[in-house]
Structures are given as structure tokens and as C-alpha cells.
Chains A and B, each alone.
Chain A
């Protein structure tokens, strides 16, 4: 293989397979032309030094290949804002969970400088690992969105400002809303189905870390219905992204999903506890009275939250139904968060 072949092959390594033969042939032709030109001017046949000069002038193979490729993003400019918002919400939550885990471990610690320093380092390391994992997971989710909804990157060239007159403000869809909904629902599917161990309290016990699950078996009985709801919410939001505005069909689907979520929430409120943590389990790491107070408080907080979400969802559903029947369009995107 001569120098030119080697160079072409190096450029080809960075080109998409479909376009590679054609671009390689064109680059070979261009370099051969340059060599012929140089040879004529020098009055001598092409030699290795001449070839090296021309290849040097043509440029570094990877850089040459990049001029043929469109700009590519893992997360493009239009999705990046939603990505940043998601991170701004999730990172403090992770921080709070890490702090709770740290506080529980600290309360059980034999107080001396070495133990405290070790606990701080381990807690920080644990937090950093969970941040990196979350960041990686979010990048994957947004990358999938980037591929699945490429039209987010380009606006219609035939856009007419008068089309704004036909869209009442509540109909308009801003991409960040559905994108956030898709990301949140995808994250819920992935976490609850594949990494349920994440939803737990981590604390240090003896020489190692122990994770206690927070959610009970009862919660996971609702998972098939929740999965269906999350998948439908993702599909609805993908459709909304593509359409760019609410339509009658999507409003009906949104209302249906909202009613299903109300049903599931009502069953959760009326049914057995969704919390796995109980005073008996916690008393192994906390004082009995503290454990009882904490579990009672947790149970109360969860029920209160469910009731608030249930009432909000119900009010939203009624508003959507009234507006739908009255011809006034609501601007609510469904999800069960």
C-alpha cells in the first residue's frame, strides 16, 4: 500500500460507510491532480517527498473527513435547555437523599475523627457515583430523544406568521414541556422496572453500606398499570412534539390518561401502605422512639402527597373535560409524577 492509499484509508475510517467509497474516490482524484500539477512544475516525476508535501497540504485525515460530515450532537441546542432543567431538578434530590443517608450513618457512628472523615469521604464518593450514573442515564435518554425527534433541530422553511392567528395560546406546544414529560416518564419506567434498588435509604452499618428499600410490595403491584400509563404518556408527548399543538384527539387521550391516573392514585390512597420502611426495621439503626416517629411521619407525608396529587389531577381532569365540551382548549400535558 503506497502513501496515497494509506492516507485515503485513514480518511475513510472517519467517514460514514454509505458515502465512504464516493468521497474516497473524489479525494484520491483531487490529490492525484495536485501531484500531477506539482510534478509538472518541478519537471520531475512524482516521488515520496512530493507526495508527503501534497498530503501535508491536504490536511490531517480526521480533519479532512470532518469537512464532509454535518455537525452532530449528542444533545442538540434545542434539547439542551430541557436537559439542563432536568439535571437542576434531579441533582438536588440526589443530594438530599445522600444527606439523609449521611445523617442516619452519622447517628450510628462511633464518634472519632477517623470515622467521621471516612464517612464523609465515602458519602461524597457515593454521591459522585450516583451523579455520574444519573448524568449518564439522562444523556442516553436525551440522545434517544434526539434521534427519535430529529425535527426538533429544524423548523419548517414554509412557516407562515399568519398561522399564529389560528392557534390560541393554550393550544401551542413548547418543545421543552413534552420533552421534559418524555424524559421524566422514561426515567420512571427505567428506574422502577430495572433499578428499583435505587429507591432506598443507604446508610453505613458496621464495615459496609446497607440499602433499605423505601417502597413496599403494594406499590409494585400498581407497576403494570403505571407502566402502561407512562408509555401512553410518552407516545402522547412524542405525538404532541411532532404536531406542535393540541388537537381534539390528543386532548381526549390526555383526558383519558388523566382519569386513569386519578383511578390509580385513588386506589393507592385507599389501599395498604406503599412504604416498606417500618419502625421495627428502622429500630435496628435508630432509637425505637425516633424510628416510630420517622416512619409515622413518612407514612403521613406520602399519603398527604398522594391526596394532593389526586385532587390536583381530578381538578385538571374536570377542567379539561369542561373545556373540551365547551370548545375551550386546556394546556395540560398528562403525566403521573
Chain B
């Protein structure tokens, strides 16, 4: 495995770790998958559909998100939003993330 491939692999693992928190934080107002993906990319977090859509389904099956199909101008779209269970978890996750960032900043200095 060359250096670039190793870098890509590690970055993939890192992104996988943080994307749950990013998704939960963005779904306080409901969004459909593509708009969420665009929003994340515009804010600097690159994520592809192959990661995002299965993750949304997994978080829904874990009870952290809820979803509903809506038809607008003959276009069916699945809208996701954070569930009550997700809402109660989110502040703790945010706090944990802030602690993690501080710790890592110290470690890698």
C-alpha cells in the first residue's frame, strides 16, 4: 500500500468516526438525503452518498433519527430528522467531541 492509499484509508476511518455527530447536528430541522449531503460538503465535510444514505438508515434503525416520505411536485423524497432519543444524546456527544478535540490537540502538539 503506497503512502497516498494509507492516507486515504486513515482519513476514511477518521471521517467515519465523526460523520455520525455531523449528521445528528444537522438534522434538528428535517432534510432529505441529497440536501444534507450538499450542506455537509458546502461546510467542508466531504461525504459521499455511499456512506451517507446507509448511515441515515442505520441511525434510524437505532432510533436516533426518524424519517418520512413526502411527495413534492411529483418527486418523492425521504426526509430525515433527529428523534427525541437522538435529541437527548446530541448534547452529550457534542461535549464528548469538544473534550476529544482538546485532548487530541494536546497529544499531537
Contacts and interface: CB of A to CB of B under 8 A. Distances in A.
Point out which of A30, A59, A63, A64 has the most chain B C-beta atoms below 10 A from its C-beta. A30
Given A25-B76, A26-B78, A68-B57, A33 B34 contact: yes
Contacts of B76: 25, 29
Contacts of B97: none
B77 interface: yes
Contacts of B57: 23, 26, 68
A34 B53 contact: no
Given A25-B76, A58-B49, A30 B54 contact: no
A58 B50 CA distance: 8
Contact of B77 (A27, A29, A37, A58): A29
Nearest to B50: A67
A32 interface: yes
B68 interface: no
Nearest to A19: B57
Interface residues of A, number: 16
B33 A26 contact: yes
B29 interface: no
Interface in B43-84: 49-51, 53-54, 57, 69, 75-78
Contacts of B75: 29, 32
A29 B76 CA distance: 7
A32 B71 CA distance: 13
A60 B68 CA distance: 27
B62 to A, nearest CB: 12
Interface in A62-79: 63-64, 67-68
Contact of B78 (A29, A58, A59): A29
Nearest to A32: B75
Contacts of A58: 49-50
A64 B57 CA distance: 14
A32 B54 CA distance: 17
A29 B57 CA distance: 15
B33 A29 contact: yes
A30 B50 contact: no
Nearest to B55: A67
Contact of B51 (A25, A26, A63, A67): A67
A64 B54 CA distance: 10
Interface string A31-45: 011100100000000
B50 A34 contact: no
Contacts of A25: 69, 76, 78
B32 A33 contact: yes
A65 to B, nearest CB: 10
A269 B53 CA distance: 66
A8 to B, nearest CB: 13
Interface in B5-57: 32-35, 38, 49-51, 53-54, 57
B53 A27 contact: yes
A45 B50 CA distance: 26
7 contacts: A25-B78, A26-B53, A26-B78, A30-B33, A34-B49, A67-B50, A68-B54
Interface of A: 23, 25-27, 29-30, 32-34, 37, 58-59, 63-64, 67-68
Closest 5 interchain pairs by CB? A33-B34, A67-B54, A67-B50, A68-B54, A29-B77
Given A25-B76, A26-B57, A29-B77, 8 more contacts: A29-B33, A33-B33, A59-B50, A67-B50, A67-B51, A67-B53, A68-B53, A68-B54
